Structure 1
Amino acid sequence: MKFMVKAPAKINLSLDVLYKRSDGYHEVEMIMTTIDLADRLEFSLLPHKEIKIVSHNRFVPDDQRNLAYQAAKLLQDRFQIDAGVKISIEKNIPVAAGLAGGSSDAAATLRGLNKLWGLGLSMETLAELGAEIGSDVPFCVYGGTALSKGRGEKITHLPAPPTCWVILAKPFIGVSTADVYRRLNLEHIAHPNTQSMIQALEEGSFFGVCDYVANVLEDVTLNLYPEVALIKDQMKRFGADAVLMSGSGPTVFGLVQHDSRMQRIYNGLRGFCDQVFAVRMLGEKHTLD
C-alpha cells in the first residue's frame, strides 16, 4: 500500500507574543493560513517496525531529528504498532524558513499514518498528538486559517483570507527561532490588533487583512539579518499591498491582488533573493480522507 499526502506551508498573518510562561514557553496569539507551496510525502507500508525517511534534499535529516520521523515514532509507541513505514519526502518548502515546513511534514505524517495503519483517530486527537512534537504541528494538522493560542495548540478556525497572490522571498540564511525569542524584549513591542485581523477575515476584506498584518518577532530578525530588511524594503518598493516576515523568518511575504503586479514583483525580487515563489492562498481545512 502506497499513497501521497501534501504538506502545505503556512504564513503568519499576525503573530503576537503575550508573555513568557513558567514552563519556559511563550504564550502566543497567532493567525496562520496555509498556502499553495507544499512538500509531498509518500507513505509505503513496511513489514517490520522500521521508520525509513528518504529525501534528496541534503538539509532534510533522515533520523530522529526529522519531525516526520518523530510523528511516526510517536504513533508507533502510543498505539503499539508493529508495522513500519517508508516516508519519501519531496521537499518544496524551503528549510528553516519560518514557513513550518518540518511541522507540516509531521502533521502530514500523522494524517497519513492514521490512514496507512488504520488507526481511526479524529483530527482533534491527531492535533493533540501533534502538540507533543512542535508548537505549529496542531495548526498544520488542520490546515486552513486559524487563530492559535497557548504555545500554538489551542486552535480556533477562521474564514479563509480573500483570494490573492502570496509572493515569498527567502535569502540563503537560516534563523534560530529560539535565538529570536531569547532576544525579544516583551516590554518594548507593539502588539498586533488580532481582533481587527479576525474581523477583516470575517468580512472578506483584502485591504483590511493588509492593514493588520503584524509580527512582533520581525524587528528582532531584521536587526540581526540586514538582508531580510533589504528584501522587505524591495518588496514594498515593487508595490506589494502588504509585506511581512513569516514566523521567526527569514522568509518575507507580500500579498498582491493583481496578476500584473505579482509578475513585476516576482521578477524584481529574483535579482535580490535566492528563493522566490508566487503562490495562492489555500484556505480549505484538511480532511481525514
Structure 2
Amino acid sequence: MTIIKETAYAKINLGLNILGKRADGYHDVSMIMQSVGLCDEITISKGSSDGGITISTNLPGLSCGTDNLAYRAAALLAGHANINPNVHIALNKNIFLAAGLAGGSSDAAAVLRGLNRYWKLKLETYELEQLGAQLGSDIPFCIEGGTMLATGRGEMLTKLADMPETHVVLAKPLNLEVSTAWVYKNYNAGRVVNAPCIWQLEARLAGGGHAITPYMGNVLETVTIPAHPVIASIKARMLGAGAYYAMMSGSGPTVFAFTDTKETAEKVQAALDDYTVETAITTTIGRMK
C-alpha cells in the first residue's frame, strides 16, 4: 500500500504591512513570510472500503470534518483532477492551534503536495499554489515556504533568497484564540506608529536577524495587543531574558523572538515559566526543494 508523508512547516511574518482595503472585502498586504522548523507531520494512505476522504489527528479538540482545511484541500484537488477519492489523511499536530503560525494552511499545502504525488497528477508548483489560493491566502506560500515577499491578499508571491538560519523562540498564550477576520476588521491605519519597511527588509535579508530588525514590524499588533495585553508582556519578558527582537506573528497571539544562540533561546523559554503559554524553540528554514 502506498503511503505518502509530508512535512507542514509553521511560518512567521518578518514584516506585515496593510496597504488598504480591497473592493472584495480583503486587504492589500505587503509582507515578508518566513518558514520555521516547528512542523506538523502529514501521512496519506488508502482509505476505507467506503471511499471518500477521512481525517484523523492526535488532537482530540480539532475537527476532522469537512471544515478542516486539510479535508477541503483534498476535496478541492480531487474535484480539480476529476478523481473519486479514497484516502485517509493523518495529521500529527505540533504547530500551536489558532496561533498566527499558518498551521492549518500549512497542513492544507502539505495535503496538496502529498496528494499530487499519491495520485501521480504531476501538477506544477504554481498550479498547486493557484488551487491553494482558493482556500486561504497563506496556503500558496506554504506550498514551498522559505522566505518570500507576499502581496495582494497574500497570494502573490516573490521568492527571496533564504534568510540565514536564525534561532527562534515561539510562545502562545494557552486558551487564547484570536480571530484573523476580527483583527483585520478592526484594523485602523491611524493607530500605526511604526510600520515595517518592507523594501529595506528585503534588501537586508542576507545579513540575517540583526540586519533586518530595525525594519521589522507588524501593524496588526495595534489591534491584537490592546485586546490581549499579555502579548506585550510576553514580548517584554523575552527581550529581558536575552532575545534581541520579539514580535507578534500574523494576527496573533503567538509571539516569536530571535536569539543569537540556542542557549539563549533556552533561557528565554525558561523565563516564560510563570506564564500560561505553550512554547517551542526552533530555527528559520529555507525553501523546500
**Paired residue total:** 285
Q: Secondary structure at the match of 1:115?
A: helix
Preserved contact between residue 48 and residue 83 of structure 1 (Cα < 8 Å): no
Measured on the aligned residues, the alpha-carbon RMSD in Å equals 1.3
Aligned to 1:76: 78
1:264 aligned to 2:267? yes
Q: Secondary structure at the match of 1:155?
A: strand
Preserved contact between residue 170 and residue 280 of structure 2 (Cα < 8 Å): yes
Q: How far 1:182 sits from its partner (Å)? A: 1.1
Aligned to 1:5: 6
**Identity between Structure 1 and Structure 2 (%):** 42
Distance, in Å, in 2 between the alignment partners of 1:204 and 1:48 is 54
Q: How far 1:262 sits from its partner (Å)? A: 1.6
Aligned to 1:242: 245
Aligned to 1:174: 177
Query: Which of 263, 274, 280 is matched with 2:277 structurally?
Result: 274
Distance, in Å, in 2 between the alignment partners of 1:74 and 1:224 is 36
Inter-CA distance 48–114: structure 2 relative to 1 (3 Å threshold): farther
1:198 aligned to 2:199? no
Q: Secondary structure at the match of 1:247?
A: coil
Q: Give a deviation string over 1:191-244, Cα, whole Å, max 9, x none.
A: 31001100111x324311222220000121110001112111111111211110
Written as runs of structure 1 = structure 2, the 5 A alignment for 1:100-249 is 100-172=102-174, 173-189=176-192, 190-201=194-205, 203-249=206-252
Preserved contact between residue 27 and residue 151 of structure 1 (Cα < 8 Å): yes
Preserved contact between residue 93 and residue 101 of structure 1 (Cα < 8 Å): yes
Q: Secondary structure at the match of 1:166?
A: strand
Distance, in Å, in 1 between the alignment partners of 2:61 and 2:134 is 23
Relative to the length of structure 1, the TM-score reads 0.95
Gaps of 5+ in 2: none
Distance, in Å, in 1 between the alignment partners of 2:143 and 2:263 is 34
Aligned to 2:69: 67
Preserved contact between residue 132 and residue 139 of structure 2 (Cα < 8 Å): yes
Gaps of 5+ in 1: none
Q: Secondary structure at the match of 2:104?
A: helix
Q: How far 1:271 sits from its partner (Å)? A: 2.4
Q: How far 1:64 sits from its partner (Å)? A: 1.2
Distance, in Å, in 2 between the alignment partners of 1:129 and 1:123 is 10
Distance, in Å, in 2 between the alignment partners of 1:188 and 1:105 is 34
- Name the aligned partner's letter for residue 116 of structure 1: Y
- Name the aligned partner's letter for residue 198 of structure 1: E
Aligned to 1:32: 33
Indicate the larger mover: 53-62 or 173-182: 53-62
Distance, in Å, in 2 between the alignment partners of 1:177 and 1:129 is 21
Q: Give a deviation string over 1:102-141, Cα, whole Å, max 9, x none.
A: 0000000000000001111000000010000100000001
- Name the aligned partner's letter for residue 188 of structure 2: N
Q: Secondary structure at the match of 2:252?
A: coil
